[in-house]
Amino acid sequence: MNRRLARFMTRLYPRFWRERYGVEFEMLLVTQHGSIRAVLDVVWSALKEHAFPVVTSADGQCYPSFASIMKKPSAIVPMAMSLAALGVVFGHIAMAGIARQADEGAAAHSWQLLMGTQLPILFYFAIKWLPKAPRQTLGVIALQALAAGAAMAPVFLLRW
């Protein structure tokens, strides 16, 4: 691959990535054969690096970004379960109204199961990711807590 194309392809990456890897990467591209597949791989990798960058601290340690941690199933599942619990509450209100029931029905049991079974997933997520990327993990945990609070709010406000 010619030097000009290699420099252009290196410039596709974010600035902090180029500062760390740019010189070596450009030299690697110059020494490689510039096939269409190689060009597409570099473009795809640059797009992924923009979308889900690896965060580097002052001491040179690499940490996953907030966006890359948010893609983990253990981050998404508790939020999805909280939103499903909120949907159960709104579905029950739409079908039966806000009047208090004499007996806990299926909606109440579903809500309890959804809210309770997400706790082990939350603990797993915290144990796995807090040591690796504490600031980003605390941001995800805050979003998970916000989703859980949104699911609990109607239950407590309606004294259901």
Q: What is the pLDDT of residues 69-120, one digit of tens each?
A: 888 899 999 999 999 999 998 888 888 777 776 677 788 889 889 999 999 9
Termini Cα distance of the chain: 68
26, part of any domain: yes
pLDDT at 57: 59
Q: Is the pLDDT of residue 153 over 70?
A: yes
- Cα(68)–Cα(70) distance, rounded to whole angstroms? 5
Q: Residue written as tokens 């199961």?
A: 113
Same domain, 97 and 18: no
Q: Is the pTM of this model over 0.85?
A: no
One domain for residues 96 and 151? yes
Q: Are residues 75 and 44 in the same domain?
A: no
Residue matched to tokens 């082990």 = 120
Higher pLDDT, 122 or 102: 122
Per the structure, the complete domain to which residue 42 belongs is given by: 3-51
- Please indicate, yes or no, whether residues 82 and 150 belong to a single structural domain of this protein: yes
Residue 2: C-alpha distances to residues 12, 16, 26, 33 (Å)? 16, 24, 10, 9
- The number of folded domains in the chain is 2
Specify whether 104 is located in the same domain as 44.
Answer: no
- Residue 56: inside a domain: no
Domain-located, residue 129: yes
